[in-house]
Structure 1
Amino acid sequence: MVMWVFGYGSLIWYAGFEYEQRLVGYIRGYRRVFYQGSTDHRGTPAFPGRTVTLEPHRDPAHICWGVAYKVSGHQAEQIAFSYLEVREKQYDKKVYLDFYSDDDATEPTLKNVLVYIASTNKDVNINYLGPAPLETIAHQIIEARGPSGPNMEYLFKLETVLIEMGCKDEHVTDLANAVRKALAERDENGILKENGAK
């Protein structure tokens, strides 16, 4: 058994399992968005954080960068049916997509790569938060923290690793800038300044 798993969020910088190969590349037809509520890693049930999921893009050629990990044999079975099923338990949808590793590729490097997605159906995914104004998402990320750490840490790590990979993601960049702007408008005690940033 050979399995490839695509990571587009924290899996990019922290796999959490041993793998045989790691490839930087992308999938097509999806965009990365901070629309999934996190109550187990970067937030709590009382105050969910926000992590990324994927949503179909109107342009089927639109690309979302990330990494693909190869595992095989007994290890693949363990990862597929134990570790990732627990780590990604709030992502209720599994799809198998083509993975590309070259900017101008016409043929996929890999086929049937496993991708975890949080669906928008709140009947089955009670933690889906959906879109909101950028400033609203930014303030939620600033306040949220969970067992895996502050929500801001997740956002900034994702921004950093995408930059290091040479990948552009406007949603991540815009949100990180919105968080920095909101933080600049607070005083040393974390309280919003009356007249905004000085």
Structure 2
Amino acid sequence: MDEFWVFGYGSLMWNPGFKSHRRVHARLSGYHRSLCIRSFVHRGTAEAPGLVLGLDRGGFCEGLAFAVKGNDEDTVMAYLRERELVTNVYRELVLPVRLPSGEHVPAVCYVVDRAHAQYAGAVDVEKAATIVKNAHGQAGPNRDYVLNTARHLREMDIEDAALEAVAALLTNEDPRPVKRNSGA
């Protein structure tokens, strides 16, 4: 079947916004999920930036791979570029992701551009929680984005200790015990 793959690691997992004919757990090596991008539009403002997820160098990331029919490629890619490349903080790359079968497939991935002004780098858990608590953008409170993502990761049985720690500070709960490392 003529198809292409898209790798989701944040809101694309629970709100892809495009049709796929298959979605499976997948693992990307060499990058990890990180609250490393200052959001000036969707989850913050230029005066009070929020933090959103990016794929940053090192480790690995567990997420979802979406198989999209080849005849939908132009439509899906136009949608993803409009959604993900608003300020060009992401670089669109095609990287190999490993499917549960062990097969590696090339997938469209959005990786943070470390040279971009919105790149926040490694933000410690306490500082991240403070930033997230105080940020609000066009898409709503930054807190909602982080808590939604953490909840969806739990529902999909995907561990992310760093995101769980931030979520715990946002809800004043203990983070859930971690079984495996997300590479972050």
Band the TM-score falls in, shorter-chain normalisation: 0.7 to 0.9
Kindly report which structure 2 residues correspond to 1:2-13, keeping only aligned pairs within 5 A, or say none: 2-13=3-14
Instruction: Find out whether 1:151 has 2:142 as its counterpart.
Output: yes
Q: Tell me the distance in 1 between the aligned counterparts of 2:92 and 2:137.
A: 25
Residue 85 of structure 1: aligned partner: 81
Instruction: Find out whether 1:142 has 2:122 as its counterpart.
Output: no
Residue 31 of structure 1: aligned partner: 32
Q: Tell me the distance in 2 between the aligned counterparts of 1:147 and 1:29.
A: 32
CA RMSD of aligned residues (A): 1.9
CA offsets 1:85-139 (integer angstroms, 9 cap, x no match): 111014431222222233xx6x4x3421110111111xxx221122233211111
The aligned amino acid for 1:116 is Y
TM-score by length of 2: 0.84
Instruction: Find out whether 1:111 has 2:89 as its counterpart.
Output: no
Shift of 1:74: 3.8
Q: Which of 54, 73, 76 in structure 1 is aligned with 2:73? A: 76
The aligned amino acid for 1:120 is R
Shift of 1:72: 2.5
Give unmatched runs, 5+ long, in structure 1.
183-198
Residue 55 of structure 2: aligned partner: 54
Q: What is the number of equivalent residue pairs in this alignment?
A: 170
Give unmatched runs, 5+ long, in structure 2.
174-184
Kindly report which structure 2 residues correspond to 1:120-139, keeping only aligned pairs within 5 A, or say none: 120-121=114-115, 125-139=116-130
Kept in 1: contact 2:6–2:108 (CA 8 A): yes
The percent of aligned pairs where both chains have the same amino acid is: 29
Task: Report which stretch shifted further, 4-13 or 129-138.
Answer: 129-138
Larger Rg: 1
Q: Tell me the distance in 2 between the aligned counterparts of 1:31 and 1:88.
A: 17
Give the structure with the higher percent strand.
Answer: 2
Shift of 1:178: 2.2
Classify the secondary structure of the residue corresponding to 1:154. helix
Q: Tell me the distance in 2 between the aligned counterparts of 1:77 and 1:140.
A: 36
